Structure 1
Amino acid sequence: MSPRIGLLYPTRDCGEDDFAALCRRLDPAIDLDFAYVDWGPGIGRVDELDAAGKTAAVRELGAPEGLTKAADGFATTPDVVSWACSSCSFTRGLDGAREQAEALSAHLGVPASSTSLAYLAALARLDVDRVALASVYHPDLTAVFAGFLAEAGVTTVHAVSADAASDRALAAWDGRQITDLAVAADHDDAQAVLVPETALHTTPLLAELEDRLGKPVLTATAVTVRDALERAGAAPERAGLGTLFARHARHPPSSSAS
């Protein structure tokens, strides 16, 4: 039986269908459930906030007590849970991301992770420590992600920042916009290109992006799902879904939920 993944997600009707599309393409297909984390009452419209306001908002949304409260919204307890939001997990730093996962694991009694921790797991699996960032964020927030990676020994050799208005705006991006961002971010010294945003619809582009750039392109959807499956003790392989799901992907030694 395939594991059931529970994803905590920040905004309804954004990129959930991209996660579902990826899980359907795996063999066996993966059961998926979502629960939603409420934005703070004082935040208002995210697309109307300035850069500092957005950073504060996503940091607030990642408070461990809010995540555990939201996790009670799953229909049944999943086999593994992940906080499927890049910025809301990396803005608290590496220790903060681990605290989020530990709180969820203790609350639900199952393995737990987040998109940011999933990026670190993917980079370790592929033995990558130099990356380029195809960031949809403001440059200040992109720098926070680079700092998070640096805490784990990963160097950002190049980054571009699209400074998109909101995750809902990003959910409407088409394949050309995503591809253009990844191409602009690539650098000869980068071993992989990271696309850290779970609202983007990247599943149809996984193989195409890697063919175009000639290196792993790690999208937020792909790393989140692969990491969750690893933590649940299952790692389906499937051609056409990029390096992370290829048969030759290196598996690192097993580790704790952090």
Structure 2
Amino acid sequence: MSTTVGILYPGYSAEDDYPRAEKLLTDSSRLALVHTEMREDAHRVDALLDIGGDDVLGAGARSLASEGLDSIVWACTSGSFVFGVSGARDQVARLQKVAGVPASSTSFAFVDACRALGVSSVAVGATYPPDVAGRFVQFLTHHDISVLTMSARDIITAAEVGTLPGDVVLDFAEAVSGDAQDAEAILLPDTALHTVDVLDALEERVGKPVLTANQVSIWQGLRLAGSDVHRDGLGTLFRKG
């Protein structure tokens, strides 16, 4: 079934993951992406609250009104979990009201992806500073996902994260996995990180499922649109059917 998923993406860093993924969907499903306003590129709580503001997301959703969306996703992990669990829920509810289609965010996509795979213990490899990464740990813990270890690379801007090459991403995931052998999955929670081209390689390197921000955002959008089917080339999450 061909579906159209709206992707609200903050600024410019790894947005090219989405057209790359779209080519792997194989059923004419579309990922209609719009760049939402990023007044300041910083992995800092005040800047992230601004990035995920209702005015920003509402403007992004309205710009996709002509696309015939089946669902919409706020493709920003830190710009959703930074609001806390109830705030992130309210953020999604308001986005859904504006867009008129099922909505979610990357933070909830991680939770739903873990549940879909039966994963209850994870290791987190965050590009964020430790204080921001700690809020993601709290978000997961609230949803009964045990975080065995958390590594934070302390990178301030999404732009810098977007420059990290695939071999660095692979090495980072391997280091995170090595610190938590008992973790059922590795989570890389930053949509500024390029991962689509290395999803299968990541899992081969660490020997377990790896969930990445852009991957789970796409999966969540397709799931909400009723197109959660087996697909190759996008990791265990997309092959679970």
TM-score category of the 2 structures, normalised to the smaller one: over 0.9
Aligned residues: 238
Superposed displacement of residue 156, structure 1: 0.7
State the match for 2:120 in structure 1. 129
1:24 and 1:30 in contact (8 A); partners too: no
* Deviation digits for residues 31-61 of structure 1 (CA, Å, limit 9, x no counterpart): 1212232234xx4xx35xxx7xx12110222
Structure 1 range deviating more: 26-35 or 127-136: 26-35
Q: Percent identity?
A: 36
In structure 2, what is the Cα distance between the partners aligned to 1:7 and 1:241?
A: 17
Superposed displacement of residue 63, structure 1: 2.0
For normalisation by structure 1, the TM-score amounts to 0.87
Aligned residue for 2:67, secondary structure, equals coil
Does residue 215 (structure 1) correspond to residue 215 (structure 2)? The answer is: no
> What root-mean-square deviation, in Å, do the aligned CA atoms of Structure 1 and Structure 2 show?
1.5
* Deviation digits for residues 152-200 of structure 1 (CA, Å, limit 9, x no counterpart): 1111101111111311111111011111111111111211000011121
Counterpart of 2:57 (choices 51, 67, 75) is 67
Gaps of 5+ in 2: none
In structure 2, what is the Cα distance between the partners aligned to 1:91 and 1:132?
A: 19
State the match for 2:111 in structure 1. 120
Aligned residue for 1:72, secondary structure, equals helix
State the match for 2:5 in structure 1. 5
1:194 and 1:218 in contact (8 A); partners too: yes
In structure 1, what is the Cα distance between the partners aligned to 2:196 and 2:98?
A: 31
1:3 and 1:79 in contact (8 A); partners too: yes
Does residue 181 (structure 1) correspond to residue 172 (structure 2)? The answer is: yes
For normalisation by structure 2, the TM-score amounts to 0.93
Superposed displacement of residue 66, structure 1: 2.8
Aligned partner letter, 1:2: S
In structure 2, what is the Cα distance between the partners aligned to 1:30 and 1:185?
A: 33
Aligned residue for 1:120, secondary structure, equals helix
State the match for 1:57 in structure 2. 47
Aligned partner letter, 2:199: L
Task: Report the CA distance shift for 1:195/1:29 in structure 2 as closer, same or farther (over 3 A).
Answer: farther
In structure 1, what is the Cα distance between the partners aligned to 2:233 and 2:63?
A: 33
2:129 and 2:156 in contact (8 A); partners too: no
State the match for 1:231 in structure 2. 224
1:135 and 1:142 in contact (8 A); partners too: yes
Aligned residue for 2:228, secondary structure, equals coil
Superposed displacement of residue 135, structure 1: 0.5
